[in-house]
């Protein structure tokens, strides 16, 4: 393949040893800056919301650190947060009077795919968001009432040493 035709893929990865609410605004700014550099600024609002939800879950439901990874895909971005807690999150309709528990349900209605992978030392929660440019499932379709219900993909990975 000639160099002129070669396309480098882009990936951003950061370890967050002690995620805390004060850090989340900075992480959102960094994430949105990377999306602008990729020409995917139209995904910024949903990606920032998704990153905030996943990091908040780490802060509220685990002992601490995690790793955030964003990767350019054909037509969008894949965002993953890996932590070292074995408890898998559930996407479910909360009780009407519940004060929380709606974040992943909301996120699942905004993204193209949401997955949870069980790892030997924790889990990886990921979402895929495709750009409206060049695909027919753009933001105007997300969250509409004719959308099929979310199917949460759970995968157990044995012996995977790369979280």
Residue pLDDT, tens place only, 72-97: 998 899 999 999 999 998 887 777 77
Per-domain residue ranges of the chain: 3-156
Edge-to-edge, what's the strand order for the sheet holding 153-156? Answer: 11-16, 66-73, 76-83, 122-130, 113-119, 153-156
Rounded (to 5) percent helix, strand, coil in the chain: 30, 25, 45
Structure confidence by residue, pLDDT tens digits, 48-75 = 999 999 999 999 999 889 999 999 998 8
Mapped onto helix, strand or coil, the DSSP state of residue 24 is helix
Domain 3-156 fold is Heat Shock Protein 90 (3.30.565)
Tokens 């955030």 locate to 68
Distance CA(98)–CA(135), nearest Å, equals 36
Structure confidence by residue, pLDDT tens digits, 5-44 = 555 678 999 999 988 888 999 999 999 999 999 899 999 9
pTM recorded for the entire structure? 0.75
According to the model, what pLDDT value does residue 8 have? 61
């Amino acid at each position: 393949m000639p160099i002129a035709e070669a396309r480098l893929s882009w990936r951003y990865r950061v370890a967050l040893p002690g995620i805390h609410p004060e850090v989340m605004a900075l992480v959102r700014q960094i994430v949105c800056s990377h999306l602008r550099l990729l020409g995917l600024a139209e995904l910024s609002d949903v990606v920032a919301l998704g990153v905030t939800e996943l990091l908040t879950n780490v802060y509220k439901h685990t002992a601490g650190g995690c790793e955030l990874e964003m990767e350019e895909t054909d037509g969008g971005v894949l965002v993953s947060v890996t932590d070292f807690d074995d408890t898998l999150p559930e996407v479910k309709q909360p009780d009407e009077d519940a004060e929380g528990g709606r974040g992943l349900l909301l996120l699942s209605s905004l993204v193209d795919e949401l997955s949870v992978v069980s790892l030997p030392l924790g889990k990886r929660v990921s979402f895929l968001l495709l750009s409206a440019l060049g695909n027919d499932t753009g933001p105007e379709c997300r969250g509409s009432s004719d959308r099929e219900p979310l199917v949460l993909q759970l995968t157990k990975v044995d012996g995977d040493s790369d979280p």
